[in-house]
Structure 1
Amino acid sequence: MLPHKSPAILLSLAVLFSSLTACANTPTAKNLEQSLAADPRLQDNPAIFTETQQGETQAEQNQPTLALPTDFPKEIPLYPNATLQEVTPSNGSENKVSTRWLSSDPSNLITSFYRNQFQTNNWQILQQPTDEAEGSFEARLNNLLAKVSIQPQSVTNPTPNQPQTATSLVIEYTSNSTATTQPSPTTSPGETANNPPQPGDPQFIGPVAPTNLATQPENTVEGQKTATPTPASQQFSDLNKAPQELRKYIQDLASLGVLSIDSQTTKNNSNVSTNQFEPGKIITHREYARWLVATNNAMYASNPAKQIRLAAQSTQSAFSDVSKTDPDFPEIQGLAEAGLIPSPLSGDSTAVLFRPDAPLIREQLILWKVPLDTRQSLPNASLDAVKQTWGFQDVGKIDPKALRAVLADFQNGEQSNIRRVFGYTTLFQPKKPVTRAEAAAALWYFGTQGEGISAVEALKVKTPQN
C-alpha cells in the first residue's frame, strides 16, 4: 500500500512549497517561517540544550550511597554479585548489626558459596540450611557470631537494578568480645560474669556448674593429654527442646559426663548458673570425635583393651588441617591411628583433611560409630544388599565407604544406631547434617544385641565422685 501513497505525498509537498514560494512576502508566510526557524538561543548558548540532562545526572550523583559499617568484620565473607540495600545498626540493647543485600543470582548458588566459605575459613557452623534453595547459616569464629539468611524473591515490577528473579540476603553479626566482660545486673560487689561464685562460697546458689572433666589432675606429657580422666556429671537446662524420644539418651550421657560442648555457661536473672546443650544445633566433626572417644572410654572404664588411646603431642598429625596444638588433636589423631575414621593411615589417600568444624552428616555418624559396636571387620556390601535389607529409596546417594557400616548396622537388630536415632524410615538422607540430640542417641549404646553396654549400665559401675 505504501508505494501507491508515495506519489500523492510528494505531490502534496510540492504544492505546499510552491504556495510558500508564491506567498513569500505575505504575513502568513513570514509567521510560518519564524515558527520553523531554529531557536537563536541555541546558537548563542549551546549549554541550554544539555541543561536538563546535566541536572538529572547531578541529581543522581547527589543520591546518598549505602556503605558497610566501618567496623564490619572482614572475616565475614561477602557474596561478590550482591548489592547492599540496607544497613540496620545496633540498637544498643544488643550488639547486633544487620545488613540486607540483593543479588540476581539463584539462591542455591549463594547457599553453596557460603557453605564453602565457612568450611574453608574454619568457621564453626552451628546451623545450616536443609534446603539448597533457602534457609539460614549460623556460624562462629572466635568471638564473632554471624547469621546469613538466604531467601529467593519474585519481583513484580523489575527494574535495571532489580531483575525479575532475585535473591534477598541478610547478614547479621554479633561480637561477644564485650558481652563476657560486663558484670551481670545481679552480680554481687567484686563479682563479674567471668568469675561467678564457686561451690563453697556463701553466695553460691546451685546447681553446680557442669564441667567436662573431673577435678582430678590429668596425666600429661608436656601439657598433652595422655588418658581420659573420669568425667563428672553434667546438667543441662534446655533438654525440653530435644525431641521427646531422644531426651532420655541425652540425660543419661549427661549424667555420665561425656557431652562436652563449646557453648559458654550463662547466668539467668535468678543468679543460677545454667548450661545450654542446644539439642537442635548441628554437631561438628570435632565435637563428635570428642564425644565418641569420651563415651567409649567411659563405657569401658574398667576394660582398657576396649578403650581408644589418645595421641601424644609428639605424634605426626594424620590430617593437614589438624595441628598438634589443636585442643581436640589427641582424640582426632587417636581415632585415625585406631583406623576408626578414614585417613591416609588407613590407606585412604583422599582423606587428607579432617575438616574439624564442618557439619557431621548421617553417613559419617554411622561410619565412625559402627566399628566400635562390632569390634570386627565390616561385611562386604553392595547397593542391592543395602536396599534389600533397609529398603532405603536413596541408597544410591550413600558413599561407598559408608555402605559396609550401614549394612552392619542393620545386622545389629534393635540395637541399630539408625533405628535408635531416626526411627522407622525409608529415606536415609546420608548427606543430611546431624544434630547434637541425634549424635547423643547414637552414642547411648555400644556393642551388639548379644553383647554391649548402655549409658545406664555404665552409670551403675561409674566410680563415685568426691
Structure 2
Amino acid sequence: MKGKGLFLGCCAIALLTGCSGDPTAQRWFAPDPELETPASPEASPSPSPSPSPTPEVEETAQTLPQNFPETIPQYPEATLLEAKYSSAQVRGTTRWTTTDPQNLVREFYQQAFTEQDWTLETGEGEDDSLSARREDLRVTIAFEDVSAGETQFSLTYQVGESPTPTTSEGEGDLSTVSEPLRGYVSDVLALGVMGEVNPNETVTRRTFARWLFEVHNRMYGDRTTKQIRPIPTRDRPAFQDIPPSDPDFALIQGLAEAGIIPSRLTDNSNPALFQPDAPLTRETLLLWKVPLDVRKALPQATVSGIEQTWGFQDAGQINPEALRAVAADYENGDRANILRVFGYTTLFQPKKPVTQAEAIASLWYFGYQGEGISAPEAANISP
C-alpha cells in the first residue's frame, strides 16, 4: 500500500510539472477562491460603511397625511382631492374642491384664523390668496381657476419656517429692506408706535390707516392742535364694513370724519365699504397721505398736467380723485412722497400694491414746502 501511494504521488507531481506551461491545466488545479481562509482583522482591516442620510421624499395620498397639523382649520363643505407631503418634515400641500363660491371659502378661513389667534400676513391680492402664521406654522390658501359652480383651492402648510424678521419699536433685522428705504423705515420704527412689521409683505388698507393715524399723532406729540382725533362711537359709521365693534373703528372713523380718508361722510358718491383687508395701492397711499402734508384743499389737476410735471406715461390710469394728491405731492419738491418711496420713475403704476416698507417710508415726513417734521426730529419730542 505504501508503494502504491508513493507511486501515485510521484505521478501527480510529474503531471503538475508537465502542465506548468499550460494555462488550462493550471486553472484545473488552482485553489477555489471561495474556499480560501480570510485574513485576520489585524492583518487587513475592512472599513465600516458610513450611514447614508435618509432622503427627503415627497409622497402623495388621497387622505390627509399624518403630519397635517390639527390646528389648521378645515372648510367643512370641502372634499379633499389630493395631498402631497414631505416624509422628513412637517410640510405639504393639500388640494380641495367645494360647490360653495370662492368668497365664502375665503371668508371662512379669514374668520377662523382671526378667532384662533393666527397672524394674517397677506391681504386680498390679485389671486385672492390668504396667508397666516401661528407660532412656527405657516399656512397659505390659494384659489385655482376652475369652471363655474366649483371652487378649488390649495392649502399649503409648513412647520419650522422662520417668520419674516420682526422689526418693532426701532429694533429688528432690516437687511431685507432695499437700501434706499432702510434708513426711513428705521427712523419711523424708532418712534415706537408701529407694532409688528414684515417689510416686504403687502400692506393692507386697515394697517396703513392705523399707521397713518398713530405715526402722524406721534410726530405731532407736542402739538395736539395738529392731531387727528379718534372717534370712539357714532350712530352713523363712515363705512359699513367698519362697525363700532371693530378694533380700529375709532381711528378709521376719526380719519374719515377729518376728511383725510374719502367716505360717504364727505361725498355720497364714495364707496360705502372700506375694504380693510384689501391691499393698499400707490394711488390710495397718496390720496390718504398728502392731505396731512398739505393741510389745505388739494389743487385741481389734469392728466396732461401730471404728464408734464411728473412725466408719468400712465397718468391716464390714475383715479381722478387721487390725481389731485399726485399733483400736490409734486409741489412738495424733494420732500415729495413719490420721490422718497418710489424714487425716479416714469411709470407711477397707480394700482400696484404697496409694501410695508414703502408705506412706512411715506410716513417719515409730514409737511409741505419746507414746513414740516421728520421722524428723527419727532423722536426727540416727548409724546
Please say whether Structure 1 and Structure 2 have the same fold, judged by a TM-score greater than 0.5. yes
Gaps of 5+ in 1: 1-63, 103-112, 153-167, 177-208, 212-233, 262-276
**Does 1:443 pair with 2:356?**
no
Q: Give the Cα–Cα distance (whole angstroms) in 1 for the partners of residues 217 and 334 of structure 2.
A: 23
Q: Give the Cα–Cα distance (whole angstroms) in 1 for the partners of residues 288 and 93 of structure 2.
A: 39
Distance 1:315-1:150 versus aligned 2 partners, 3 A rule: closer
Task: Please give the secondary structure, in 1, of the residue aligned with 2:251.
Answer: helix
Q: Give the Cα–Cα distance (whole angstroms) in 2 for the partners of residues 324 and 92 of structure 1.
A: 48
Q: Please report how far the alpha carbon of residue 119 of structure 1 lies from its aligned counterpart in structure 2 after TM superposition.
A: 7.4
**Does 1:139 pair with 2:131?**
yes
**Does 1:244 pair with 2:237?**
no
Note the 1:85-164 alignment, pairs <5 A.
86-89=82-85, 94=90, 96-100=91-95, 118=106, 124=120, 126=122, 137-140=129-132, 146-148=139-141
Cα shift readout 1:153-184 (whole Å, capped 9, x = no counterpart): xxxxxxxxxxxxxxx974314699xxxxxxxx
Number of the residue aligned with 1:282: 202
The normalised TM-score by structure 2 is 0.67
One-letter code aligned to 1:242: V
Distance 1:248-1:318 versus aligned 2 partners, 3 A rule: same
Sequence identity of aligned pairs in percent? 44
Q: Please report how far the alpha carbon of residue 313 of structure 1 lies from its aligned counterpart in structure 2 after TM superposition.
A: 2.9
Number of the residue aligned with 2:311: 391
Q: Give the Cα–Cα distance (whole angstroms) in 2 for the partners of residues 403 and 451 of structure 1.
A: 23
Residue pair 1:118, 1:125 contacting (<8 A) in 2 also: no
Structure 2 residue aligned with 1:66, among 62, 69, 89? 62
Equivalences, count: 298
Q: Give the Cα–Cα distance (whole angstroms) in 2 for the partners of residues 174 and 93 of structure 1.
A: 8
Q: Give the Cα–Cα distance (whole angstroms) in 2 for the partners of residues 332 and 121 of structure 1.
A: 24
Q: Give the Cα–Cα distance (whole angstroms) in 1 for the partners of residues 279 and 183 of structure 2.
A: 24
Q: Give the Cα–Cα distance (whole angstroms) in 1 for the partners of residues 237 and 325 of structure 2.
A: 25
Q: Give the Cα–Cα distance (whole angstroms) in 2 for the partners of residues 406 and 76 of structure 1.
A: 47
One-letter code aligned to 2:358: E
One-letter code aligned to 1:87: A
Cα shift readout 1:131-157 (whole Å, capped 9, x = no counterpart): x6xx894423999953246899xxxxx
Please tell me the root mean square deviation across aligned C-alpha atoms, in Å. Answer: 3.8
Q: Give the Cα–Cα distance (whole angstroms) in 1 for the partners of residues 134 and 255 of structure 2.
A: 26
Residue pair 1:138, 1:145 contacting (<8 A) in 2 also: no
Q: Give the Cα–Cα distance (whole angstroms) in 1 for the partners of residues 229 and 320 of structure 2.
A: 28
The normalised TM-score by structure 1 is 0.56
Q: Give the Cα–Cα distance (whole angstroms) in 2 for the partners of residues 89 and 257 of structure 1.
A: 41
Note the 1:7-86 alignment, pairs <5 A.
66-67=62-63, 73-75=73-75, 84=81, 86=82
Note the 1:168-187 alignment, pairs <5 A.
170-173=154-157
Residue pair 2:208, 2:359 contacting (<8 A) in 1 also: yes
Note the 1:193-342 alignment, pairs <5 A.
234-261=169-196, 277-314=197-234, 316-342=236-262
Q: Which has the higher contact order (CA 8 A, sep 6+)?
A: 2
Distance 1:175-1:351 versus aligned 2 partners, 3 A rule: farther
Runs of 4+ in 1 over 6 A off after TM superposition: 69-72, 113-117, 141-144
Q: Please report how far the alpha carbon of residue 330 of structure 1 lies from its aligned counterpart in structure 2 after TM superposition.
A: 1.1
Residue pair 1:76, 1:146 contacting (<8 A) in 2 also: no
Task: Please give the secondary structure, in 2, of the residue aligned with 1:73.
Answer: coil
Q: Give the Cα–Cα distance (whole angstroms) in 2 for the partners of residues 245 and 92 of structure 1.
A: 40
